[in-house]
Amino acid sequence: MTHGAQDNAMTEIALALAMAFFSILVLALVSMGGSQAAAPKTALTIEQGAVLSKSQPKEKAQESSKASLKAEPNQLLIFYGGRYFNAALKETNPASYAGRKNIILAVDPSISMTDALEAEKLVPGDRKIVTTLDKKWIAALKEKVK
């Protein structure tokens, strides 16, 4: 018994559809599985001595800020309006803080991260803490800078 040409055509179409489905399946598996060998390169560079940590939830951050240690006045350096001030709100040179440990640089919260990092670069020392000024400090600085 011989098969007609129509039966062969249906077999060919079924085979073509099966190959197409298999090709799509392999392509999907390869694209989802991606190579993990090479880590993506990032534009972020971290200077030696910098420490990164996860941020805290807002509620926990408020609790920890209430329980935080107070800084000594000679550790506090304020960057506001493009100028540096000491704890007594007198204009100062950040180089005068050389040799001090755990310098706390308080910056205006409205400045950009780039400006804050540029301000931090001029502060000498290895152990620096960068934080933002609160409303009371900003009000006092606005009065001083007038």
Q: Give the C-alpha separation, 21 to 132, whole Å.
A: 58
Task: Copy the structure tokens of residue 30.
Answer: 């390869």
- Total domains in the chain come to 1
**Given the structure tokens 């301000």, which residue do they identify?**
119
Q: Is the pLDDT of residue 16 over 90?
A: yes
Element (H, E) at 129: strand 128-132
In a domain, 61, yes or no: no
Task: Quote the CA–CA distance of 104 and 78 in Å, as a whole number.
Answer: 8
Its pTM stands at 0.52
Q: Is the dihedral of CA 26, 32, 36, 37 positive or negative?
A: positive
**Whole-angstrom distance, CA of residue 1 vs CA of residue 19:** 29
- Does 131 map to a domain? yes
User: How many beta carbons lie within 10 A of that of residue 117, not counting itself?
Assistant: 13
Domain for residue 76, yes or no?
yes
Share above pLDDT 70 across residues of the chain, in percent, rounded to a whole number: 69
The answer to the question of residue 5 being in a domain is no
pLDDT band at 143; cut points 50, 70, 90? confident
**Average pLDDT over every residue of 17-25:** 94
Q: What range defines the domain where residue 116 resides? A: 68-145
Q: What are phi and psi of 19, to 5 degrees?
A: -65, -40
Q: Is residue 31 part of a domain?
A: no
pLDDT digits (tens, 9 = 90+) for 68-118: 556 677 788 889 888 898 888 888 888 888 888 888 888 988 998 888 888
Percentage of the chain surpassing pLDDT 90? Answer: 11
On whether residue 124 sits in a domain, the answer given is yes
CA distance 36 to 112: 35
Residue 40 resides in a domain: no
Task: Share the mean pLDDT of the chain.
Answer: 78
Beta bridge partner(s), residue 111: none
